[in-house]
Amino acid sequence: PGLSYTWIFNNNTLDLQEDSRRFVSQATGNLYLAKVEPWDVGNYTCAVSSAEAQRRVWGPPTALTLRGDGVMGEYEPKIEVRFPERTYAAKGSSVRLECFALGK
């Protein structure tokens, strides 16, 4: 609660309001891409905001590339954010929330 997730694609915020192929879960922060197209190739960066803390933090960029052979291997590409259901922190302390990607 209190966190908001945004994804940046090649340094531009993804506008998902009219996009039926991409979705960001505000419950988990996961970015979902359906039917990846060549124009989806690039760098994806997650940003987590907290209105209460008046802070926004960006993760490192993660590159999405297309495989030419059509073989995905053991792990299908997936970019996601995972956070514990609840994180506790003392006022004035620092908290680290990580973004990461899986896949070949």
Percent of the chain at pLDDT > 70 equals: 71
The top-level CATH class assigned to 3-102 is mainly beta
Q: Categorize the per-residue pLDDT at 98 as very low, low, confident or very high, splitting at 50, 70 and 90.
A: low
The CA-to-CA distance between both ends of the chain, in Å, stands at 32
pLDDT at 104: 47
Query: What are the residue ranges spanned by the domains of the chain?
Result: 3-102
Q: What's this model's pTM, rounded to 2 decimal places?
A: 0.61
Q: Contacts by 58-66 with C-beta closer than 8 Å and gap 24+?
A: 58/8, 59/98, 59/99, 59/100, 60/99, 62/99, 62/100, 62/101, 64/33, 64/36, 64/40, 65/41, 66/36, 66/38, 66/41
Q: Categorize the per-residue pLDDT at 18 as very low, low, confident or very high, splitting at 50, 70 and 90.
A: low
Q: Categorize the per-residue pLDDT at 77 as very low, low, confident or very high, splitting at 50, 70 and 90.
A: low
